[in-house]
């Protein structure tokens, strides 16, 4: 069992950083930083502080809401946030304390 944070970033498919969609960029950043994992979740619709509805449409996915979720130790979370600050990325997030681990017989092989 470990303790750390679940950090979830919220953006839209159309937002970009270094020429690629921001959600994809975050996934690749997590790999580059050797973080334990990240999941990109595409949403059907949602709205943010601007109160504007963002939705995935059949012909246009640019406005589709996207979440990137990671579960990290405190040092990993601090390193990620420092890197995002250094990159100049402006991004809404939620950070929640969590307890995490792997359960079951296969956990010993991981």
**Rounded alpha-carbon distances, angstroms, from residue 7 to 12, 98, 102:** 17, 10, 18
* 55-58: long-range contacts, CB 8 A cutoff, minimum separation 24: 56/13
Report, as an integer, the average pLDDT of 35-44.
88
CA 63, CA 67: separation in Å to the nearest integer? 13
> Given this model, what pLDDT does residue 70 score?
98
Report, as an integer, the average pLDDT of 67-74.
97
CA 101, CA 83: separation in Å to the nearest integer? 25
Question: Using only C-alpha atoms, what is the Rg of the chain?
Answer: 15
Q: What is the pLDDT of residues 30-39, one digit of tens each?
A: 999 999 999 9
Name which CATH class applies to 2-108.
alpha beta
């Amino acid at each position: 069992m470990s303790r750390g944070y679940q950090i979830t970033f919220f953006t839209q498919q159309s937002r970009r950083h270094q020429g690629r969609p921001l959600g994809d960029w975050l996934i690749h950043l997590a790999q580059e930083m050797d973080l334990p994992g990240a999941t990109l979740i595409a949403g059907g619709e949602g709205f943010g502080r601007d109160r504007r509805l963002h939705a995935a449409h059949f012909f246009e996915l640019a406005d589709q809401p996207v979440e990137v979720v990671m579960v990290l130790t405190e040092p990993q979370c601090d390193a990620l946030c420092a890197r995002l600050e250094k990159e100049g990325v402006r991004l809404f997030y939620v950070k929640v304390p969590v307890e995490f681990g792997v359960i079951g017989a296969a956990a010993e092989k991981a």
